[in-house]
Amino acid sequence: MSFLRPTEPVYLLGPKSWLPERVVTNQDVLDWMGTRARPSWITHRTGVEQRRWVAEEQACSDVAAAAASRLLEDYRIDRERIAQLLLATVSGDYPTPPTSPLVLPKLGLDRVGVLDLSAACAGFTSAVHMGAALTAATGSDQLVIAADIRSKFLNREDLATTALFGDGGASCLVSRLPEQADFQFVASELAADPSMADIIAIRAGGSRLPHHQNPDPTKVFLKMEHGATLFMKGVDNMSNGATSLLRRLEMTVDDVDWFVPHQANLHLIRAVTDKLGADRAKVVETVQFTGNTSGASVGIALSHLKEHLPLRPGQSVLLISAGAGGASACALLRSL
């Protein structure tokens, strides 16, 4: 496990989130797939009532830039402050080059370090962990973005996957300066469960199976396998990660004011809540109207907490995430 607890204060401005304009209802999904299932089937199985999908011409760098632009504009952040851009995504514009350099001109940034992070559903929390570590080590500001597009990797013949996912992005600035900050970073921890390494995957397009060698067209789509195992592993990895971080900080679940879990699906969120013994009234849920936005989901949910729920200064906020590849990340923040 990778535990981080800076000795000097580190702060977060934001996050700000961005969702595509296109609203896709459960009936829209069923019409797109050409199936006769009822919209209530999707709601019952996943908790998702609608999600947002990008337009055909939009790519990951566009989503990332839209989320970051909202942050930079709303906080009037001087771009000269930014030393590095960290982009968490598993749906980059291309296999090569990385997507973070493509975001720079869209934001008017130059001579800024860039780094793509691939942590799937743990993307936003992992990027905050890395941003906090870099800020603590260098004193410089890190622009953190999590952005994912899942709608372009969905199989019309796979209702379980297609019904679940949405697109979106979130961004925050990690800094040593407290001015305008919304949260103080307290600590974080990363881990992984390799037994989940290939349960959620797009099989084609990498060096294991390049596109030109792929004989199976379905392997270009996102696929979730072993549903019961995936659910149980997800619950275990998220709850165990949260428990581990709280134990290191000599805290209990009762010391946490707000829980912001990865918005995998509503049943998984509530199973994690129950396993932790947390009060459901303290758990942020956005999956009903966003779907599962992969690595961006925790950032979007944290933005929702900050802007729409009764978050008060001094409250503790626990970010909890795990997903594809078995990657997991948890972080504790203190609201300002």
Catalytic choice (26, 292, 304, 330): 292
For CA atoms 116, 118, 123, 126, the dihedral sign is: negative
Q: Above 90 in pLDDT, residue 294?
A: yes
Let me know if 237 is a catalytic residue: no
In the chain, the N- to C-terminal Cα span, in Å, equals 28
Let me know if 226 is a catalytic residue: no
Catalytic choice (26, 60, 121, 304): 121
Identify the pLDDT of residue 202. Answer: 87
The tokens describing 238, both together, are 């998220």
Q: Which of 123-137, 148-162, 164-178 has the lowest mean pLDDT?
A: 148-162
**Is there a common fold for 10-180 and 185-335?**
yes
Per-residue pLDDT band for 224 (boundaries 50, 70, 90) equals confident
Averaged pLDDT score across all residues of the chain? 95
Q: Where does 185-335 sit in CATH, by number?
A: 3.40.47.10
Q: Above 80 in pLDDT, residue 197?
A: no
**Domain range 10-180, CATH architecture:** 3-Layer(aba) Sandwich (3.40)
Q: What residue has token string 């930014």? A: 82
Q: Above 90 in pLDDT, residue 69?
A: yes
pTM across the whole model:
0.97
Catalytic choice (262, 265, 304, 330): 262
Question: What is the arithmetic mean of pLDDT over 231-260?
Answer: 96
Q: What dihedral angle (degrees, nearest 10) is formed by the CA atoms of 135, 10, 294, 104? A: -40
Let me know if 121 is a catalytic residue: yes
Identify the pLDDT of residue 146. Answer: 98
Instruction: Using a pLDDT cut of 70, give the percent of the chain over it.
Output: 100
